Amino acid sequence: MIPANSNGGLNVPKSIKTFVFCFSLIFVATIAAAQNLVINGTFDTTTSSWNFTTPGTFTHSSSLDADGNAPLSGSGQLANSSTAASGTSFAAQCITAGIIGSTNYDFGAQIRFDTNNTQTGSGRANVVVSFFDGPNCSGNNVGGSTTPNFLSSNTNIWTQNEVLAFTSPPGSLTAQLSLWTVKTEATGTMTVNFDNVVFGPAGILPVELTSFDVE
């Protein structure tokens, strides 16, 4: 039996306090990791779960990883080869679980433009979320949000691109998340890589919960 202290509380041994503290941190870290509703947002081995809308290609890169862990993980490489000025192409997935209306969500990705782009003007990339009131991104598009423009003049550097605490429209049931590109010129190809795609309840970004030292 644990004796009471002078304040009427329990004199819980320090070892137990430390254990409970550590357990709580592990529990919080586990919850945080579980909150990302994106499937295959890290592109470890494939681009599975992502649907590509042409023109161009969306392929797995085993040499470029936002965490520098290639070839253990890679990224999704989108080559926009539109022959129209301001042509778009994008990779998307429908998030079918965990979407509630009037709820705050964070979303974003790390983006990198290739140094070999033939684009002379600034193309751009964004992460776009559109909420729907039907299952599997059907029904009405009830609203959404877009991250700030990340321009193709920024080459060879992974950059976090995100929106924090966006309130989903009332009635939201599912959400389409798109890795969006816009190429400003009618010629050439614009290559951009995406990695660490996140969509989850507000607080999931920025991801900083990695390790702890207790005492």
- Compute the distance between CA of residue 136 and CA of residue 146 in angstroms, rounded to an integer: 20
Q: Could you tell me the smallest distance in angstroms from the CB atom of residue 167 to Ca ion?
A: 29
Q: Does the protein bind Ca ion through residue 111 (CB under 5 A)? A: no
- Compute the distance between CA of residue 186 and CA of residue 80 in angstroms, rounded to an integer: 11
Q: Which of 36, 64, 65, 99 is the binder for Ca ion (CB under 5 A)? A: 65
Contact at 8 Å (CB) between 32 and 204? yes
Nearer to Ca ion, 65 or 185 (CB): 65
Contacts with Ca ion, 68-107, as mask; x by CB under 5 A: -----x----------------------------------
Q: Does the protein bind Ca ion through residue 61 (CB under 5 A)? A: no
Token pair listed for 190: 């614009």
**Nearest to residue 151, comparing CAs of 129, 128, 183?**
183
Contacts with Ca ion, 168-207, as mask; x by CB under 5 A: ---------------------------x------------
Q: Does the protein bind Ca ion through residue 114 (CB under 5 A)? A: no
Largest CA distance in the chain: 79
φ, ψ of residue 16 in degrees (nearest 5) = -70, -40
